[in-house]
Amino acid sequence: MDSKNIVIAVLIGLAAGWLASWVPFTGGDGGLIQYLISGVLGSFVGSYLLQKANINLGIQNEVGRDIATATIGAVIVMFIANILT
């Protein structure tokens, strides 16, 4: 992974974490670090779960698809974190 890909992954993670924070049961506003952690973890969780469930989001734009997938995963990650705390 080069530095450009890392920056893109961080930006997608931040966007996904921010979007996930708008879902009521995820715990709300937590700041940039929470957005980054939940978004990056969410990208792994979301892509794994969507692949295992054989779900295609039908989004043609690659960045949009990545953000949607990471957001789905971030919602799951934040929900589980709220249950555990």
Name the pTM for this structure: 0.88
- For the segment 42-58, what is each residue's pLDDT rounded down to a tens digit? 999 999 999 999 999 99
Residues 6 or more apart in contact with residue 73 via CB below 8 angstroms:
16, 41, 42, 43, 44, 45, 46, 47, 48, 49
Average of pLDDT values for 19-43? 84
Check: CB of residue 43 under 8 Å from CB of residue 70.
yes
Element (H, E) at 70: helix 62-84
